[in-house]
Structures are given as structure tokens and as C-alpha cells.
Copies of this chain bind each other. A is one copy, B any other.
Amino acid sequence: MAAQRGEGETTATPLEPADRERARAIPEAAVARLAVYLRVLSGMSDQGVTAVSSEELSQAAGVNAAKLRKDLSYIGSYGTRGVGYDVEVLVSHIERILGLTRNHSVAVVGIGNLGHALANYGGFPGRGFPVTALFDVDADLVGVPVGGIPVNHIDEITAVCIEREVSIGVIATPPPAAQSVCDRLVSAGVQCILNFAPVVLQVPDNVEVRKVDLAVEMQILSFHVARRADEAVHAAGGVSAGIGPAGNNGHGVDGMVIRP
């Protein structure tokens, strides 16, 4: 069904049959972690580290060692028992599975504060995501270069996206405009969308949407503040300088007690 818009996609590494089967089976959560491993590994590589064990890597990535090994096993067996993993080998395999062997053009829609920040991010963290198009409704912004790219009017979205083979659309508009922008992106053939607007987007199910929602993040933190504060109050009625009921799973980095 999908993407045969623009034959430019042929530069992608073809993926072995065995890998194809695997890729389909990788849990979403594991994919997210693979991206983290990749960053940690890249850092190690830059520092000249050539080999790493699951224990080391898992600590650096902040996860359980067993989980890390299982995650890596989803993409194949590239470790050496008794030794560990070759950093470069791992990097290249993760990059291949994540589809980072080719570039993904990014379009940012909505050049407000956030849009500016995104456009200026400079090659986007973790290269491979060049921002090739910017859009806004504001006629005064059209033609103004932001981060080296001139802004286009939002009405040109379809033509420009197709022309520049945009594969990822970033929505950084005010909430009311988000759904409309999303629809336009979709009809321009964009199948992946990163949405910063605090809105639940409706999309056909061949389109992948990821949401970054500041308000939600803040409120989750708020929830924990409230829970903590509450526990503290009610722990005061408890035993001595008590450990409190919350699952205190040992290994405390602690040493960070608040003054009395």
C-alpha cells in the first residue's frame, strides 16, 4: 500500500529477510531504548571505546542488563560470549534497524517560539534528520530564513513536501490549527508525524503519530509531587525516622538529605 511517492527512497539499505522478520517483532518500548543505546554507544565510540559488556552499557543507559540483552537480541546476535559487544558493530546494526542508513527529510510547521527552536536545532540531534522545509500561516514570515531555510506559506505544504520528499512532519502550531495541518501533511503523503500541539490528532491508521506533550509531562510530575508530599505528611505519624512505605529499592545513590 504505502509510499511509492518519489523513487528517491531507493538509497535505503535493503534489510536481509531475516532482519525484516525481526524488525516487525520488535516491541515499541524496545525500539525507544535502542535509540538510547545508540546514543550511548556513539558517545563511547567517540571516546575510542571499542568493546562493551551488557553490564556496562546497561548502566550507562539506565536500564536493567537483562533487558538490554533482550533488546539487542531482537535485532540479532552480535555479541561474543565471554567478551561482550563490539561498539562499532552494534552501532551499525542499530542504525540499520532504526532506518538511519538513509536521511529523513523533516518539515516543521508553525514557526513560533518552538518552531524556531526546532529549526535552529542544527542538523537535529543525532544526524540524519535534515530540516528541509518550514511552514507558517503568517504571511510576514514567508521567505524569512530560519535556521538557513526560508519559510513557506502553509498553503504550499503539499507541493513542497512532495517536492522535497519530506518523510517526517513536525507540528508546532497552536492547538486549533494542529488537526488541519495534520490533515494537510497526510494528504501530502507524510506518514510520520511528531506532534507538539496539545491535541489528540485523528489520522488514518497508515500514519504514525508521536506526541510530545509538555502539559502532560508537567502534570505527571505534579502528580508525583502531590503523592510524595502526601506520603511525607502521613509518614510523620509513622515510626521513628522511618523508611516510609514507598518501594525503596535499595541501591540508593542518596547522600542527598534535605537540611532540617
Contacts and interface: CB of A to CB of B under 8 A. Distances in A.
A170 to B, nearest CB: 9
Count of identical protomers in the assembly: 2
A223 B215 CA distance: 26
A143 interface: no
A133 interface: no
A194 B222 CA distance: 11
A38 interface: yes
Interface string A145-160: 0000000000000000
B20 A60 contact: no
Interface in A1-33: 1-5, 9, 12, 15, 20, 23-24, 26, 28, 31-32
Interface residues of A, number: 100
A1 B191 contact: no
A143 B179 CA distance: 39
A76 interface: no
A100 interface: yes
A253 B203 contact: yes
Nearest to A124: B218
Given A2-B258, A124-B214, A224 B205 contact: no
A28 to B, nearest CB: 8
3 tightest CB-CB pairs across the interface, nearest first?
A: A99-B226, A113-B117, A126-B215
